[in-house]
């Protein structure tokens, strides 16, 4: 059996190459092994054996080094390619030089397709200026940078990313090392928490306003009560006095024409304009009664508004709810708005009328504020199958198309600083959703906007039992 029988093909090839090299060296070397003495041959054999052992030891060291290298490569693959975050290196000009599998997966392309592509290609356009500024600061100052960017995958899907980067020198040129972490889930939770917090703040603010309204209504109601009673009594007195005046005038007509008292009475009647005053006094009293009735209605609406935090679901008249809301906000509308009502036939619906009043109040005030000088607000209602709808249409400035998708976001507002918190529409959206309804908007810049609130006739009461506006203990715990 050949001594090479148990060796691998690669080892056999290496042995054959070594023997060929030996024969070539022996042919070129002077002398013949036969001419060597036994002592010299023995020394040569000893040296060859020692060299063989050295080679075997070196081969073992190389084998161990190869094993360590393989283990290191496996660790590198696990730590770099299979890391839960994306790693990539970027040139000074912004080209991707290297990237791990996590970065490629995060950006939605293969790792090979990432190389030599611009990193800015995967950054949302609105955030690219921030990225360029950070990159300039990093290359110029060398201090590591950490920031958040809105990025996009290869198919255009946006996501939030935390970016940590540092700069290193590679063959004399700066190279940016970037760590990418997808924080979309965290941002989503933060947005929900912020919305819940804003709803809680708005709810507490409305509760405070409700308490204030209840106090004001109570304070107004007391004097209005006795003023109304006094005006009623005054009306009775005035009626009696006018009847008495008529009786006196009839009596004095029987007096002689030259009677001094009659002449004086006629002069006083002319100076006092008795005929005008008796008609005007009745009219003034009627207007006073009408004004007191309006004050009573406003006070009742304020008292009703004071129960905005009530959570008892009930059947109610939507038109009455709208009219009460109009009474509360009319002072905001009357100087610049012509109000048109186009009410349809509606059945009673189930819900939280006090919270829906807040929705309609926000829509009406926003509509009035959208009208620069003078305009019209049209309030429409109607029914579609098992739902009813309310439209608030204005002839104001309209909403820009790029803002339409943001108007229900917390703290988003197009009003000047100090004139809006950006919470009203977010809270309105939450209340409508709690009623299993929907709120939609259509708008044309320069012509106006129309908001439509659609509500089911019989909303499930369970939909609102733990809504964001009521479950304040749970929200406070989350915050």
User: Same structural domain for residues 334 and 236?
Assistant: no
Cα 111 to Cα 105: distance, rounded to the nearest angstrom: 8
Residues 329 and 458 in one domain: yes
Final residue before a domain boundary, out of 149, 182, 215: 182
C-alpha triplet 48, 53, 57: angle, nearest 5°: 145
Give the range of the structural domain holding residue 24, as residue numbers without chain letter. Answer: 1-28
d(CA 74, CA 477): 45
- Residue 35, class by beta-carbon neighbours within 10 Å (0-12 exposed, 13-18 middle, 19+ buried)? exposed
Of 182, 210, 233, which residue is a domain's last? Answer: 182
Q: Containing H/E element for 179?
A: strand 173-182
For 323-344, how does the pLDDT look when each residue is reduced to its tens digit (9 = 90+)?
Answer: 988 988 888 888 889 999 999 9
- Alpha-carbon distance 130 to 400, whole Å? 25
**Which pLDDT belongs to residue 27?**
66
pLDDT of the residue at 95: 92
Per-residue confidence (pLDDT) for residue 210, from 0 to 100: 62
Residues 45 and 11 in one domain: no
Whether residue 267 sits in one domain with residue 121: no
Verify that 53 and 128 share a domain, yes or no: no
Instruction: Give the pLDDT score at 73.
Output: 74
| Domain identity same for 413 and 327 | yes
Quote the pLDDT of residue 140: 81
Low-confidence spans in the chain with pLDDT less than 50: 1, 4, 308, 417-418, 461-479
Q: Is residue 163 located within the same domain as residue 191?
A: no
Could you tell me the CATH number of the domain that includes residue 116? 3.30.450.20
Average pLDDT in the chain: 79
211 with 269, same domain: the answer is yes
| Residue 261 shares a structural domain with residue 143 | no
Do 223 and 320 sit in the same domain of this protein?
Answer: no
Clarify whether residues 205 and 153 are in a common domain: no
Q: Count how many domains the chain has.
A: 5
Residues 175 and 217 in one domain: no
pLDDT at 442: 92
CATH number at residue 362: 3.30.565.10
Residue 439: exposure state from Cβ atoms within 10 A (0-12, 13-18, ≥19): buried
């Amino acid at each position: 059996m050949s001594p090479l029988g148990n060796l691998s093909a690669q080892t056999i090839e290496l042995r054959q190459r070594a023997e060929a090299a030996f024969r070539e060296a022996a042919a070129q070397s002077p002398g013949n092994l036969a001419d060597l003495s036994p002592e010299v041959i023995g020394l040569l054999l000893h040296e060859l054996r020692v060299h063989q052992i050295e080679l075997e030891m070196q081969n073992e060291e190389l084998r161990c080094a190869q094993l360590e290298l393989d283990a290191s490569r496996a660790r590198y693959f696990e730590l770099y390619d299979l890391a839960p975050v994306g790693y990539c290196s970027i040139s000074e000009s912004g080209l991707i030089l290297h990237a791990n599998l996590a970065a490629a997966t995060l950006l939605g392309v293969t790792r090979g397709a990432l190389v030599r592509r611009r990193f800015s290609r995967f950054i949302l356009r609105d955030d690219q200026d921030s990225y360029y500024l950070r990159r300039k600061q990093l290359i110029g100052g060398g201090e590591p940078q950490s920031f958040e960017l809105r990025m996009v995958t290869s198919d255009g899907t946006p996501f939030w990313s935390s970016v940590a980067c540092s700069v290193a020198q590679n063959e004399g040129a700066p190279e940016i090392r970037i760590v990418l972490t997808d924080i979309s889930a965290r941002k989503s939770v933060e947005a929900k928490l912020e919305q819940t917090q804003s709803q809680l703040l708005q709810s507490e603010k409305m509760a405070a306003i409700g308490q204030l309204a209840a106090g004001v209504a109570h304070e107004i109601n007391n004097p209005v009560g006795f003023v109304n009673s006094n005006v009623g009594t005054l009306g009775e007195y005035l009626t009696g006095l006018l009847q008495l005046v008529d009786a006196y005038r009839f009596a004095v007509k029987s007096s002689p024409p030259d009677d001094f008292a009659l002449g004086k009475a006629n002069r006083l009647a002319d100076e006092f304009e008795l005929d005008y005053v008796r008609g005007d006094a009745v009219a003034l009293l009627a207007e006073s009664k009408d004004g007191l009735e309006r004050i009573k209605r406003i006070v009742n609406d304020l008292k009703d508004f004071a129960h905005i935090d009530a959570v008892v679901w009930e059947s109610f008249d939507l038109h009455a709810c709208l009219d009460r809301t109009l009474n509360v906000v009319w002072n905001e509308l009357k100087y610049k708005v012509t109000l048109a009502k186009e009410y349809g036939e509606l059945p009673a619906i189930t819900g939280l009328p006090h919270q829906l009043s807040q929705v309609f109040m926000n829509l009406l005030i926003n509509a009035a504020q959208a009208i620069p000088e003078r305009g019209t607000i049209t309030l429409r209602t109607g029914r579609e199958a098992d739902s009813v709808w309310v439209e608030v249409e204005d002839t104001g400035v309209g909403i820009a198309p790029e803002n339409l998708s943001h108007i229900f976001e917390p703290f988003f507002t197009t009003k000047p600083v100090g004139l809006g918190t950006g919470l009203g529409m977010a809270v309105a959206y939450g209340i409508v959703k709690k009623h299993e309804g929907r709120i939609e908007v259509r708008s044309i810049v320069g012509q106006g906007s129309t908001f439509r609130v659609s509500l089911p006739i019989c909303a499930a009461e369970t939909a609102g039992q733990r809504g964001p506006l009521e479950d304040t203990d749970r929200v406070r715990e989350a915050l």
